[in-house]
Amino acid sequence: AQSVSQHNHHVILSEAASLELGCNYSYGGTVNLFWYVQYPGQHLQLLLKYFSGDPLVKGIKGFEAEFIKSKFSFNLRKPSVQWSDTAEYFCAVKGQGGKLIFGQGTELSVKP
Amino acid sequence: KAGVTQTPRYLIKTRGQQVTLSCSPISGHRSVSWYQQTPGQGLQFLFEYFSETQRNKGNFPGRFSGRQFSNSRSEMNVSTLELGDSALYLCASSGTVSTDTQYFGPGTRLTVL
C-alpha cells in the first residue's frame, strides 16, 4: 500500500533561516507529488506539484521542491522563511489508483 | 472562479444520530473527493466520485457513504455517529483526469457528543 512519511512533526525556525522539510513515499509506480499548506484558520492550499519533467519544481511564495526518484523523496525547501510561513505543511502522493495519500504533516513555527 | 464550498461549516450531533454534509465543486470540475482530518490520524481519504460514480474508496466502515449528483455536487453521509467521528471533513474537487490537482474546500467541523 502507498504511504507517505514526513520526518519532522514540528519545526521551529527564526525568520530568515532556511527551511527543508523531508518527505518520503513508498510506491513503485508513476506518482504525482504535491505539497499543500494549511495556514491557521484557513483551508488547504496547493504550494506546488510535480507530475513529470524537471525534478526541481517551483511553487508559490518562494517554495521549491526536488523530486529524487532513486530516494523516493520530495523534499520542500525555502531559502529564507518569514513569520507568515507559520503553518502546517502536508506532503501528498497520488499513484495510479487515483487516491491522494497524505503524510502526517509538519507544523512550522517561525519566530519573528 | 469560485472555490470549493462546503455546508454547513460547523455541526454538533449526538452519538447515534446521522449527518449529511454537502460539497459544491469548482465550476467545471467533475471529480469530488472526501477526506477526514483528525489530530491523531491526519488526513485520510474517504472516497472519490466522478460523474456520479464512486471511483475510489478508502478504508472506512460502511457507515460512511456518499453520492454525487448530475451537477457534480456531492454529499457525504455518516450514520450511527460515534464519538470518534468528530473531525474536520474536507472536500476537494478536480478536473476530468485522475491526475489533476485537487483543490480543497474549507471543511465541515463535525463534533459528536
SS (HEC) of chain A: CCEEEECCCEEEEECCCCEEECEEEECCCCCEEEEEEECCCCCCEEEEEECCCCCEEECHHHCEEEEEHHHCEEEEEECCCCHHHCEEEEEEEECCCCCEEECCCEEEEEEC
* Mean pLDDT (whole number) for B48-61: 91
Report the pLDDT value the prediction gives residue B5, as an integer from 0 to 100: 96
Top-confidence residue, B85 or B51 = B85
Residue B78 has pLDDT above 90, yes or no: yes
Report the pLDDT value the prediction gives residue A95, as an integer from 0 to 100: 75
Task: Measure the CA–CA gap between A69 and A89, rounded to whole angstroms.
Answer: 21
Residue A2's pLDDT band, with cuts at 50, 70 and 90, is confident
Chain A contact set for B35 (CB, 8 A): 100, 102
Q: b/e map of B13-30 (b: 16 or more CB within 10 Å)? A: beeeeebebebbbbeebb
Q: Check if B102 contacts A (Cβ < 8 Å).
A: yes
B3-42 pLDDT, tens digit each: 999 999 999 999 999 999 999 999 999 999 999 999 888 9
Q: Check if B87 contacts A (Cβ < 8 Å).
A: no
In the block, cell 478508502 appears at: B58
Report the pLDDT value the prediction gives residue B97, as an integer from 0 to 100: 66
Instruction: Compute how many other C-beta atoms are within 10 angstroms of the C-beta atom of residue B78.
Output: 25
> Grid coordinates representing A51?
507530475
Which SS3 state, helix, strand or coil, does residue B83 take? helix
Report the pLDDT value the prediction gives residue A56, as an integer from 0 to 100: 96
Q: Distances from the Cα of B89 to the Cαs of A43, B86, B107, in angstroms? A: 11, 9, 5
* Mean pLDDT (whole number) for B52-57: 90
Percentage, residues of chain A above pLDDT 70? 98
Q: Check if B71 contacts A (Cβ < 8 Å).
A: no
Q: Check if B94 contacts A (Cβ < 8 Å).
A: no
Q: Hey, are the CB atoms on A100 and B105 less than 8 Å from each other?
A: no
CB-closest option in A44, A51, A99 to B58: A99
B18 closest CA partner among B93, B112, B100: B112
**A25 within 8 A of A72, measured Cβ to Cβ:** yes
